[in-house]
Amino acid sequence: MSTQALPLLDAPVATTREISGAEVLLRGLLAEGVDTIFGYPGGAILPIYDALYDFKEQLNHVLVRHEQGGIHAGQGYARASGKVGVVFATSGPGATNLVTGLADAQIDSTPLVCITGQVFAHLLGSDAFQETDVINITAPVTKWNYQVTEASEISDILAKAFYIARSGRPGPVLIDITKNAQLDKIAFAGYQPCTHIRSYRPAPVVRPEAVAQAAALINQAQRPLVLWGQGVVLGGAEREFQAFIEKSGIPAAWTILGAGVLPSNHPLNVGMLGMHGNYGPNVLTNECDVLIAIGMRFDDRVTGRLDKYARQAQVIHLDIDPTEIDKNVAATVPVWGDCKQTLPMLTRLVAPRTHPAWRERFVPFQNAEVDAVIREALFPTSAELTMGEVIQQLNELTKGEAILVTDVGQHQMVTCRYARLNQSRRHITSGGLGTMGFALPAAIGAKFGMPDTTVVAIIGDGGVQMTIQELGTLMQTGIAVKIIVLNNQFLGMVRQWQELFSERRYSFVNIQSPDYVAVARGYRIEGQSVSDRAELRPALHAMLVHPGSFMLEVMVAQEQNIFPMVPQGCSVSEIRLK
Amino acid sequence: MSQQPTTRQEYNITAYTENHIGLLNRIAIIFSRRKINIESLNTSPSEIEGIHRFNIVITETEEVVRTISRQIEKQVEVLKVYFNTNDEVIWQEMALYKVPTDVIAERALVERLLRENGARAVVIRKDYTVFETTGHRQETDNLIRVLQPFGLIEFVRSARIAIIKASDGFHLKLNEFEEAEPGDEVIENEYLNDRDGVFAM
């Protein structure tokens, strides 16, 4: 994220009276432009909640049903809106319940500021009630964390937290505040946002010679291929990216977190990378002569076997995070910097090209994939419903304008593959960590972040049962989230692996579901269950036009596999169509 | 990155950091998550007031050490990380040896051996004497072998401290770090600096 992305803050809120650390915190959040907090109260964070009582009008606190739901909601809010997600939790179990969401946000570079309560400072280390060493537990899964033990620290630490969370490669930050620091009163001079930490360099100085080398390599290339990732979204560089692609005429493929930067129907968008990505970009990764990676980190689900990955290609790697360069794939030309800045520099230097012969190479692969996989997935001739046709029908009804939020597993890969997206931030999913249970709470957060956009959560029957308690949050807040449960009565992705690689030894993958419609009704949410093709389209339509939240269960084929697939330990060019 | 050397050897990692509670853990877990043993770790003040200096020794390939060094430098409170082979640093470790005083007193040979090994007495009591020596691992190890036959009671060796031969110090760099818009001096792009030759058309 560029430094220009810093929001304009209110003038420091000066006050002459002494206020509590808790109030300092809330005034700081307001100064940072926070409007929504996802949280759950408890003993050690009571003073903050007491102060929140007086800020109800300015700060919308969403009471979740579990702290994991709270942090996933914060992630969904941040991913949909581009703002920093704010999460409150109490000490001990409240804080440990955040760990999964922190790890998810860390690996998917999501800006969060999490506030946890902590026992009184004089009790630290005494195994006090609900005391946990949150700082050390969360150190590996936060970009930065800090324990505040005095009220006077709160304002500066909060400012640092927001600066660190949103700048450079974004990430989650946790502030642990002891109860005495929340209670103690201090004279508050006003909130000063942080713009500089001497030991922290979020925005590297771009070397023009690196960009020039990259451009020279691109201008020489006969078969260049662009891989883009979420870095383009986090940098807010969608337009800069599109301009680069359209001038250079280079076919471009995406990681699942980068989806939507080029619209699905853009002629230079050649599809999804990785284990269940499209046939053409995977195979042709091993035929391109110059590989241009932009804001992506060569995750193993994208690269497959590394020693057989793009060995023939010269690699240009644009990234803001220097630890990503050379980590998995050695770069011939590294361009270290914010792509919002480096992409326009590159665009100026590249020659206008169209690469007709090279782009033609993708067509037979695309045709083969349509014949072998896509046609039957989207327009099935079988009696049973497919996950793909649900997404296809949804595409036709939403016209790519809805925010889709997916969980983890087969339904996620189907959505990634078949959702038609017109823009970025329209598909929110747990990418790096693969957190089942992510989608429902993240969809709630996304709706708070983008209240005027339709939000559809697409979840498997496994994942929905992990965080189904957040239906209570939907009930209480009254917001409208559309939930599609794609029920194949299996933990589908694990079953697929057991079918393909363990001789169908189905070990604990058949999972029973409750009556989802009855569960939804119990939370006063409308619901429907469909299993016939004729019912699907009307049910989806009814779901979308319903004014409130809606839970639609779709019974889909039990044993369907997701193809193409790059089997583990294989090269991307060994991708299987069946 | 198969073109990179894959031989394992001792590397000295030098990190300049803020003095921040919890940073030691953040640095330590970068090694432990890869199951890498830290052979020696020393924290101390640096040439600049308020800036701490970590000296860490591990045995690894250059590729792994480079990745780890970058991951350490990525921590918010870390200003700069260098890694060097043993040839590129001046390094020392200190060791203490406790031996029974009567043995020393009786045998002139022991005193000669200690002198030869550069040891000096720190404490001499009736019951025991503590010797100290400073040097490379080989030298401090050697004295253990020498003293073992004479009843070595206790032995301890410090972490390694190392000075980088090629370093001009950190003062000038720090001034740049203080500024919001630093010059090239601070924003070193080692990827390009190292790669003048890689891009041949």
* Closest by CA position to B130, among listed B155, B98, B106: B98
- The boundaries of the domain holding residue A352 are 208-363
Q: Say yes or no for a CB contact (<8 Å) between B76 and A321.
A: no
The pLDDT tens digits for A532-559 are 999 999 999 999 999 999 999 999 999 9
pLDDT at position B5 is 57
Same domain, A423 and A458: yes
Residue B140 C-alpha, separation from nearest chain A C-alpha, in angstroms:
36
Of these residues, A130, A213, A366, A469, which one is catalytic? Answer: A130
Q: In whole angstroms, how far apart are CA A397 and each of A202, A393, A447, A540?
A: 41, 6, 19, 8
Measured between beta carbons, which residues in chain A are less than 8 angstroms from residue B62? Answer: none
pLDDT at position B165 is 92
Same domain, A183 and A292: no
Residue A205 C-alpha, separation from nearest chain B C-alpha, in angstroms:
6
Within 10 Å of residue A552's Cβ, how many Cβ atoms? 26
Taking the CA of residue A26 as centre, how many other CA atoms within 13 Å lie in the half-sphere pointing to its CB? 23
pLDDT at position B1 is 40
Between CA A486 and CA A406 the distance in angstroms is 11
Please report the domains of chain B, with CATH numbers, ordered by start residue. 9-89+165-189 (3.30.70.260), 91-157 (3.30.70.1150)
Structure tokens at B25: 């853990």
Q: Which residues of A touch B (CB under 8 A)?
A: 135-136, 139-140, 143-147, 164, 195-201, 204-205, 207, 209-210, 213, 216-217, 220, 307, 321-323, 325-327, 330-334, 336
Q: Say yes or no for a CB contact (<8 Å) between A201 and B187.
A: yes
pLDDT at position B189 is 52
Whether residue A4 has pLDDT greater than 70: no
Same domain, A213 and A183: no
Q: What is the mean pLDDT of chain A?
A: 96
* Closest by CA position to A295, among listed A248, A344, A339: A339
H or E, element range at B70: helix B62-73
pLDDT at position B184 is 54
Whether residue A522 has pLDDT greater than 60: yes
Of these residues, A160, A179, A340, A482, which one is catalytic? Answer: A179
B89-100 and A427-429 beta bridge pairing: unpaired
Same domain, A242 and A145: no
Higher-scoring residue by pLDDT: A321, A5: A321
Between CA A411 and CA A438 the distance in angstroms is 13
Give Dmax over CA atoms of chain A in angstroms.
73
pLDDT at position B180 is 63
Within 10 Å of residue A130's Cβ, how many Cβ atoms? 16
- Please spell the DSSP secondary structure of A511-560, one letter per residue: -----HHHHHHHTT-EEEEE-SHHHHHHHHHHHHHSSS-EEEEEE--TT-
Same domain, A350 and A441: no
Nearest CA in chain B to A207: B189
pLDDT at position A6 is 47
Least-confidence region, from A1-15, A58-72, A525-539, B76-90: A1-15
Taking the CA of residue A547 as centre, how many other CA atoms within 13 Å lie in the half-sphere pointing to its CB? 1
Of these residues, A4, A129, A379, A501, which one is catalytic? Answer: A129
Q: Say yes or no for a CB contact (<8 Å) between B17 and A322.
A: no
Same domain, A359 and A389: no
pLDDT at position A201 is 87
Q: Identify whether the C-beta of residue B119 lies closer than 8 Å to the C-beta of residue B131.
A: yes
Structure tokens at B100: 């029974």
pLDDT at position B201 is 30
Question: At A290, is the pLDDT very low, low, confident or very high (cuts 50, 70, 90)?
Answer: very high
CB neighbour list of residue B140: distance below 8 Å, 6 or more residues apart: B93, B94, B95, B133, B134, B157
Least-confidence region, from A135-144, A194-203, A298-307: A194-203
Q: Say yes or no for a CB contact (<8 Å) between A204 and B187.
A: yes
CB neighbour list of residue A317: distance below 8 Å, 6 or more residues apart: A293, A324, A325, A326, A329, A331, A333, A334, A335
Nearest CA in chain B to A314: B199
Side chain identity, residue A173: V
Same domain, A357 and A396: no
Whether residue A123 has pLDDT greater than 50: yes
pLDDT at position B197 is 38
Which residues pair with residue A436 across a beta bridge?
Answer: none
Closest residue to A207, CB basis, from B22, B182, B189 = B189
Within 10 Å of residue A534's Cβ, how many Cβ atoms? 8
Same domain, A328 and A444: no
Between CA A43 and CA A207 the distance in angstroms is 51
| C-alpha distance across the termini of chain A, in Å | 40
Token pair 């189907």 in the structure block, residue: A414
Q: Is residue A567 part of a domain?
A: no
Coil/strand/helix, residue B127: coil
Measured between beta carbons, which residues in chain A are less than 8 angstroms from residue B188? Answer: none
Token pair 């004479």 in the structure block, residue: B150
Q: Is residue A369 part of a domain?
A: no
Q: For chain B, which residues score pLDDT lower than 70?
A: 1-5, 180-201
Optimal mutation site among A163, A198, A201, A316, interface B, most CBs of chain B within 10 A: A198
Structure tokens at B190: 């080692």
Residue B113 phi/psi, 5° resolution? -60, -40
Q: Say yes or no for a CB contact (<8 Å) between B76 and A135.
A: no
Distance of CA B194 to the CA centre of its chain: 24
Q: In whole angstroms, how far apart are CA A415 and each of A264, A277, A393, A561, B165?
A: 12, 11, 12, 14, 56
Same domain, A10 and A95: yes
Q: Is residue A575 part of a domain?
A: no
Q: Is residue A201 part of a domain?
A: no
Whether residue A39 has pLDDT greater than 90: yes
pLDDT at position B175 is 77
Q: In whole angstroms, how far apart are CA B187 and each of A192, A341, B190?
A: 26, 16, 9
Which residues pair with residue B78 across a beta bridge?
Answer: B17
Same domain, A472 and A349: no
Q: Is residue A565 part of a domain?
A: no
The pLDDT tens digits for A318-365 are 999 999 999 999 999 999 999 999 999 999 999 999 999 999 999 999
Between CA A80 and CA A167 the distance in angstroms is 17
Between CA A197 and CA A295 the distance in angstroms is 24
Closest residue to B26, CB basis, from A139, A205, A217 = A139
Question: At A25, is the pLDDT very low, low, confident or very high (cuts 50, 70, 90)?
Answer: very high
Question: At A140, is the pLDDT very low, low, confident or very high (cuts 50, 70, 90)?
Answer: very high
pLDDT at position A310 is 96
Q: Identify whether the C-beta of residue B189 lies closer than 8 Å to the C-beta of residue A336.
A: yes
* Closest by CA position to B57, among listed B26, B20, B87, B86: B86
Q: Say yes or no for a CB contact (<8 Å) between A322 and B70.
A: yes
Q: Which residues of B touch A (CB under 8 A)?
A: 1-4, 17-18, 21-22, 25-26, 29, 33, 66-67, 70-71, 73-74, 76-79, 174, 177-178, 180, 182, 184, 186-187, 189, 191-192, 195, 198-199, 201
Q: Where are the alpha helices (DSSP H) in A167-204?
A: 179-183
Q: Is A493 a catalytic residue?
A: yes
pLDDT at position A3 is 41
Q: The domain that contains A484 carries what CATH number?
A: 3.40.50.970
Tell me the helices (H) and strands (E) count for chain A, helix number first.
24, 20
Q: Is A179 a catalytic residue?
A: yes
Residue B7 C-alpha, separation from nearest chain A C-alpha, in angstroms:
18
Measured between beta carbons, which residues in chain B are less than 8 angstroms from residue A198? Answer: 79, 174, 177-178
Residue A483 phi/psi, 5° resolution? -115, 120
**Helix axis angle, A208-220 relative to A339-349, nearest 10°?**
50
Same domain, A37 and A162: yes
Q: Identify whether the C-beta of residue A315 lies closer than 8 Å to the C-beta of residue A185.
A: no
Q: The domain that contains A260 carries what CATH number?
A: 3.40.50.1220
Nearest CA in chain B to A334: B191
Coil/strand/helix, residue A487: strand
* Closest by CA position to A273, among listed A258, A291, A290, A255: A255
Q: Is residue A36 part of a domain?
A: yes
Q: Residue A85 gets which letter from DSSP?
A: E
> b/e per residue, B154-187, with b = 16+ CB within 10 A?
ebebebbbbebeeeeebeebbeebeeeebeeebb
Measured between beta carbons, which residues in chain B are less than 8 angstroms from residue A210? Answer: 189, 192
Q: Is A129 a catalytic residue?
A: yes
Rounded percentage of chain A residues whose pLDDT exceeds 70: 97
Measured between beta carbons, which residues in chain A are less than 8 angstroms from residue B199? Answer: 213, 216-217, 332-333
Nearest CA in chain B to A165: B76
Whether residue A506 has pLDDT greater than 50: yes
Between CA A485 and CA A503 the distance in angstroms is 28
Measured between beta carbons, which residues in chain A are less than 8 angstroms from residue B33? Answer: 140
Between CA B198 and CA A532 the distance in angstroms is 60
Of these residues, A32, A67, A238, A470, which one is catalytic? Answer: A67
Q: Is residue A570 part of a domain?
A: no
Closest residue to A332, CB basis, from B67, B76, B198 = B198
Q: Is residue A566 part of a domain?
A: no
Q: In whole angstroms, how far apart are CA B92 and each of A451, B12, B85, B130, B134?
A: 63, 12, 14, 19, 6
Q: Is A188 a catalytic residue?
A: no
Same domain, A138 and A181: yes
Q: Identify whether the C-beta of residue A234 lies closer than 8 Å to the C-beta of residue A206.
A: no
Query: How many structural domains is chain A composed of?
Result: 3
Q: Identify whether the C-beta of residue A69 lies closer than 8 Å to the C-beta of residue A476.
A: no
Q: Identify whether the C-beta of residue A481 lies closer than 8 Å to the C-beta of residue A457.
A: yes
- Number of A/B CB contacts below 8 angstroms equals 79
Q: Say yes or no for a CB contact (<8 Å) between A326 and B66.
A: yes
Question: At A280, is the pLDDT very low, low, confident or very high (cuts 50, 70, 90)?
Answer: very high
Q: Identify whether the C-beta of residue A132 lies closer than 8 Å to the C-beta of residue A96.
A: yes
Rounded percentage of chain A residues whose pLDDT exceeds 90: 95
CB neighbour list of residue B183: distance below 8 Å, 6 or more residues apart: B176
Q: Say yes or no for a CB contact (<8 Å) between A199 and B17.
A: yes
